[in-house]
Amino acid sequence: MGAPYRGRFAPSPTGPLHAGSLVAALASWLDARRHGGVWGVRIEDVDTPRCVPGADRLILEQLARCGLVSDAPPVWQSARSALYRSALDRLVAQGRAYPCACSRKDIEQALAAQGRPRVRGQEAPYPGTCRDGLHGRPARAWRLRVPDGVVHWQDRRLGPRQQDVSHEVGDFVLLRADGLWAYQLAVVVDDADQGITHVVRGEDLADNTARQLLLQRALGVATPSYLHAPLVLGANGEKLSKQNGAQPLDLAEPLRALNEAAAVLGLPPQTGAVAAALAAWVARWPFLQSRGD
């Protein structure tokens, strides 16, 4: 028998919630309730330069207005640096992480020399320059030593997925040159420490999954089940986000905002009280089996 269901919604406090982030919050909450599990909120504020003061509290208030209240006290990544340091130290001791002296320009020049120019709008794969040592240069960051091979996983909505991380991404950053913890390490450590069994998040984060699976294996922690929910698209066909001008949620009528989010998830509109609407959607929640099972 598996561990009891434990899910989470993990927003970054770079501003208030918008329509797209409400879809992810609602999906994760409905999945937890449909499985009789526990749902929590984790504020992912390790990227401090992007965080907006007070946005974390505003997000919690917005969630509460929509009836989405954490079953346990919310946690903040900014208070968990010791856990991330411990994980990095373990990886270094095992020879799975190494220091890197490369700047972004260094990486682009190395890729060009290998005949692999960076594609505009895509992440530049790390060419492995510092894998065998710094050669007298000062360390700027720390990277995971990614093994060769394709990583496979099953998404509960998208079906079978795979990525060759070593080729497409390369050895990825765990501790950034500016001293901040990288998203991938913080998420994996937090999910393991909190006992997260099911990750439900937006489809835009699906390409992080293979890297997180590799980190989970390197740290010897359990791998959660993954479900990547559909995205809200803007008029230009791109994902709605704060970066492209997504407007904060108008919660004068919370049920209206929830109905719009539910429609993206393929759920019918509801009338009446928010609590009754949420209960109706829990009963209709469609993602009970992995696609392809």
- 13 and 55 Cβ atoms separated by less than 8 Å: yes
The catalytically annotated residue of 6, 33, 96, 242 is 242
Q: Is residue 196 predicted with pLDDT exceeding 70? A: yes
Q: Is residue 292 predicted with pLDDT exceeding 60? A: no
CB atoms within 10 A of CB 249: 22
* Mean pLDDT, residues 150-160 taken together: 97
Count of domains observed in the chain: 2
**Least confident piece of the model among 105-109, 128-132, 151-155, 212-216:** 105-109
The burial of 250, by beta-carbon neighbours within 10 Å (0-12 exposed, 13-18 middle, 19 or more buried), is given as exposed
pLDDT digits (tens, 9 = 90+) for 78-92: 999 999 999 999 999
* 246 and 259 assigned to the same domain: yes
In CATH, what number is assigned to the domain containing residue 87?
3.90.800.10
Q: Is 239 a catalytic residue?
A: no
pLDDT range class, residue 120, cuts 50, 70, 90: low
At residue 101, the pLDDT reads 95
* Mean pLDDT, residues 176-204 taken together: 98
* 108 and 140 assigned to the same domain: yes
Question: How much is the pTM?
Answer: 0.93
* Mean pLDDT, residues 224-248 taken together: 80
Q: Is residue 159 predicted with pLDDT exceeding 70? A: yes
- 253 and 45 Cβ atoms separated by less than 8 Å: no
Domain that holds residue 111: 82-175
Q: Is residue 291 predicted with pLDDT exceeding 90? A: no
In CATH, what number is assigned to the domain containing residue 51?
3.40.50.620
* 147 and 272 assigned to the same domain: no
pLDDT range class, residue 131, cuts 50, 70, 90: very high
At residue 244, the pLDDT reads 66
**Least confident piece of the model among 27-36, 225-234, 269-278:** 225-234
* 102 and 124 assigned to the same domain: yes
Q: Is residue 43 predicted with pLDDT exceeding 60? A: yes
Taking the C-alpha atoms of residue 194 and residue 230, their distance in angstroms, rounded to an integer, is: 25
**Least confident piece of the model among 114-128, 142-156, 202-216:** 114-128
* Mean pLDDT, residues 233-245 taken together: 69
Cβ neighbours of residue 107 closer than 8 Å, sequence gap 6 or more: 124, 126, 127, 129
For the chain, where are the E strands, in sequence order? 6-9, 38-43, 75-76, 97-100, 141-144, 151-155, 159-163, 173-175, 198-202, 225-229
Taking the C-alpha atoms of residue 211 and residue 77, their distance in angstroms, rounded to an integer, is: 19
Taking the C-alpha atoms of residue 25 and residue 74, their distance in angstroms, rounded to an integer, is: 14
At residue 293, the pLDDT reads 41
- 234 and 247 Cβ atoms separated by less than 8 Å: no
